[in-house]
A and B are shown apart, each in its own frame.
Chain A
Amino acid sequence: MGEVELSCRAYVKMYLHACLFPRVSINGLLLSSSPAGGAVYVTDCVPLLHSHLSLAPVTQLALTQVDVWCSQTQQRIVGYYQANACASDSSPTPCATRIADKIAEQFENAVLLMLDGSKMSPDYRVPPIVMYERKDSRWILKDKHTIMLRQWEETRDIAGQMLESGDHALLVDFDSHLDDITRDWTNQKLNAKIAELASPANGSI
């Protein structure tokens, strides 16, 4: 299996999602707007739930809607992320592998990403991420060397900056959208903010 790269936007939104709901498990979908084949480049993510992750109706609904949105915007669902309520536990739950399996049915090189709460201190030096890939119908830990985050330090700083200024409160996940459907789960506003902060560094984030 090839390389996986995470964009700044995808990482920052996942990070902010975990920070917005620190006491519960959260999950979301990883998207890519790059053509299939070769490395998997995760360009964006959609935060999904912060309650009842293992109940089917809202998950099914979210998967369907995100699928539709992806086909409208030339993106595809390439993976799944989750952060457990218990910060010291970064192993995938049955719910995580089930959803990741479903994604793998449509996209062979699907990626399962767990956020490691114990590594999310303010001065962390490596991305607090554990990645799994599918081999022989099981999800196994992926070799760290094939996960890339271009300009990691800038990305980490952007995430930290946005957290400091309270921007994580702007993030809308699917759960929040269902509580108030005027809120946008595609997070266009947040994407714009991230792009603004990222632009001095390098155009291709």
Chain B
Amino acid sequence: MRDKLRKWREDNSRNSEQIVDVGEELINEHSSKLGDDIWIIYEQVMIAALDCSRDDLAHTCLQELRRQFPDSHRVKRLTGMRLEALERKTQQPKNPPAARKRKISILKALGKSAEAIRELNEYLEQFVGDQEAWHELSELYINEHDYGKAAFCLEELMMTNPHNHLYCEQYAEVKYTQGGLENLELSRKYFAQALRLNNRNMRALFGFYMSASHIAASPKVSAKVKKDNMKYAAWAATQINKAYRLAGRGTKENKCSVKAVEEMLESMQITMS
């Protein structure tokens, strides 16, 4: 059981119900055998307990930790988490980065996106290398429909993580959403880049197909551009059909989706020509 908890810690899994089940039993029945491990287990179980609204368990774990580590910043942070779960805003100690990020999460959970965005921007001025923060900011901007700023955040992420196909694909989606011929062409290029980095990324494949199709169907493009994009779209359609046929083999389950995709591709081809 200890090993399970350790694995979940290392994997950073958020399977809180399981952690609570295993952890509670371990704490109640076997605490004497855990030695120093017990403290990190208290922490892990406490966080999972909050996730499952098990405040009784969270409180117990926190008490033990506070007794053992009375002045610890880390324990103070856990206290903050619990208060957040009980819907009370906490008093911030001096602002180490983790505490600032917690404050931003609280703002986000309270629906105060504008404030969360402002705090996150301030945070990033100091901690410009924090990938998680940049991604969080891009998500906030997307929710607020501020696609230009979302694109900027994703550009930062692509620069520092050029091999990450997900950032390319998300950037392409943002550009596609912004619309207009220039953005569509950019989106097609970034969907293509995402595919080069991971040729199994279905979102990128569909995105590539749709952006190429839209460009080909636009009355504003030259005959050459139209022809090129129809070629791209045709290639993508073949890949999509291949992927779905492969997926459909042996399982009756997704026959519906296979048929739907086939028909969709056919009908889109008709509108293009």
Residues of chain A touching chain B, judged by Cβ–Cβ distance below 8 Å, are 25, 52, 54-58, 60-61, 64-66, 68-69, 72-73, 86, 88-89, 94-95, 177-179, 181-186, 188-189
B202 to chain A: closest residue by CB: A178
Please provide the 7 A-B residue pairs with the shortest distance between their CB atoms, ordered closest to farther. A56-B177, A69-B260, A184-B254, A86-B111, A186-B256, A181-B247, A55-B173
Roughly how many angstroms separate A183 CA and B259 CA in the complex, as a whole number?
Answer: 14
A52 in contact with B256 given A61-B206, A86-B111 (CB within 8 Å) = no
Q: Are the CB atoms of A57 and B176 closer together than 8 Å?
A: yes
Instruction: Decide: A177 and B173 in contact? CB cutoff 8 A.
Output: no
For residue B158, CB closer than 8 A to chain A, the reply is no
Known: A65-B260, A181-B247. A86 touches B210 (CB 8 A): no
Q: Is the CB of A57 within 8 A of B210?
A: yes
Q: Is B37 an interface residue (CB 8 A)?
A: no
Minimal Cβ-Cβ distance residue in A for B144: A54
For B256, give its contact among A25, A54, A179, A188 (CB under 8 Å). Answer: A188
14 more A-B residue pairs beyond the given contacts A64-B264, A181-B244, A181-B247, with a C-beta to C-beta distance below 8 A: A52-B142, A56-B176, A58-B173, A65-B260, A68-B263, A68-B264, A69-B256, A69-B260, A72-B263, A183-B253, A183-B254, A184-B257, A188-B253, A189-B253
Q: B261 on the interface (CB 8 Å rule)?
A: yes
Bound Cα distance A94, B243 (Å): 34
Find chain B residues with CB under 8 A from A61 CB: 206, 210
A184 touches B253 (CB 8 A): yes
Docked-complex contact A94 and B203, CB < 8 angstroms:
no
* Cα of A183 to Cα of B251 in the assembled complex, Å: 10
Contact residues in A for B231 (Cβ distance below 8 Å): none
Q: List 24 A-B contacts (CB under 8 A).
A: A25-B143, A52-B173, A54-B143, A54-B145, A54-B177, A55-B176, A55-B177, A56-B173, A56-B179, A57-B207, A58-B173, A61-B210, A64-B264, A68-B260, A69-B257, A69-B260, A73-B256, A86-B111, A181-B202, A181-B244, A181-B254, A182-B254, A185-B257, A188-B253
**Residue on A with the closest CB to B176?**
A57
Please, how many angstroms separate the alpha-carbon atoms of A181 and B139 in the complex?
Answer: 25
Q: Is the interface of A mostly helix, strand, loop or mixed?
A: helix
CB distance from B171 to the nearest CB of A (A): 11
Choice from B109, B203, B243, B247 contacting A57 with Cβ under 8 Å: B203
Q: Is the Cβ of B251 less than 8 Å from the Cβ of A182? A: yes
In the complex where A69-B260, A188-B253 touch, is A54 in contact with B203 (Cβ < 8 A)? no
Asked if A65 and B203 make an inter-chain contact with CB atoms under 8 angstroms apart, the answer reads no
Q: Contact: B111 with A55, CB < 8 Å?
A: no
Per-position 1/0 for B186-227, Cβ under 8 A of A: 010000000000000011001100110000000000000000
Smallest beta-carbon distance A121→chain B, Å: 11
- Give the complex CA separation of A61 and B240 in angstroms: 13
Flag if A57 contacts B256 (CB, 8 Å).
no
| Whole-angstrom distance between the Cβ of B259 and the nearest chain A Cβ | 6
Distance in angstroms from A204 CB to nearest chain B CB is 24
Contacts of B91 in A (CB 8 A): none
Evaluate contact between A182 and B142: CB separation under 8 angstroms: no
List, in ascending order, chain A residues with CB within 8 A of B247's CB.
181-182
- Nearest B residue to A66 via CB reads B260
Q: Is B267 an interface residue (CB 8 A)?
A: yes
A72 touches B260 (CB 8 A): yes
Q: Smallest distance from the beta carbon of B236 to chain A beta carbons, Å?
A: 12
CB distance from B63 to the nearest CB of A (A): 27
CA distance A54 to B177 in the complex (A): 8
B174 CB–A CB distance under 8 Å? yes
Give the distance in Å from the alpha carbon of A25 to the alpha carbon of B144 in the complex. 13
